[in-house]
Amino acid sequence: MKEFKLENTPKIKTGFKTPEHYFDDFSAKVLQQIEKKEIKIIPIYKRKEVVAMFAAAVVVITLMIPIINTYNKSKELDEATLETYLSYQSNLNQYDLIRELDTKDIEEINQNVVLEQETLEDVLSSNPNIENLISE
């Protein structure tokens, strides 16, 4: 294969030429064109698109307020739901529950609960595991 030398090969002319004395007054011509252009400034509140977007945003926010309020309501747990949840948690025992009690909860537990004799007899007769109830 022949050795190729970049310096010895004939050069191709580009075909692009600048006119004579083009760069002598180039900066003056550019500055004249820039000064001729006057920029029209439109305040943002007078633009039709911005006003339309602002109106659309207000309508969307107004329509979203009732939906947000329904999702943010805190729902209190009723006792049955809480008891069902705790009963299905197999890794939770009575000692874990006792550890989480605070003084207010303990005071509520200490209140006297009035049980009628008939109610107590019904519970004991319907539950076959009387020994477990007594040990607890």
Given pLDDT bands bounded at 50, 70 and 90, which one contains residue 59? very high
Highest mean pLDDT among 69-78, 97-106, 123-132: 97-106
Q: Quick one: pLDDT at residue 72?
A: 65
- Dihedral of the CA atoms 21, 22, 24, 25 (nearest 10)? 130
pLDDT exceeds cutoff 70 at 50: yes
Q: Quick one: pLDDT at residue 57?
A: 93
CA distance 35 to 118: 103
Is the C-alpha dihedral spanning 93, 98, 100, 104 positive or negative? positive
CA distance 66 to 90: 40
> How much is the CA Rg of the chain, to the nearest whole Å?
44
Q: Quick one: pLDDT at residue 75?
A: 67
What separation, in Å, do the N-terminal and C-terminal C-alpha atoms of the chain show?
A: 101
Given pLDDT bands bounded at 50, 70 and 90, which one contains residue 100? confident
CA distance 119 to 51: 71
Given pLDDT bands bounded at 50, 70 and 90, which one contains residue 74? low
Q: Quick one: pLDDT at residue 112?
A: 66
Q: Quick one: pLDDT at residue 108?
A: 81
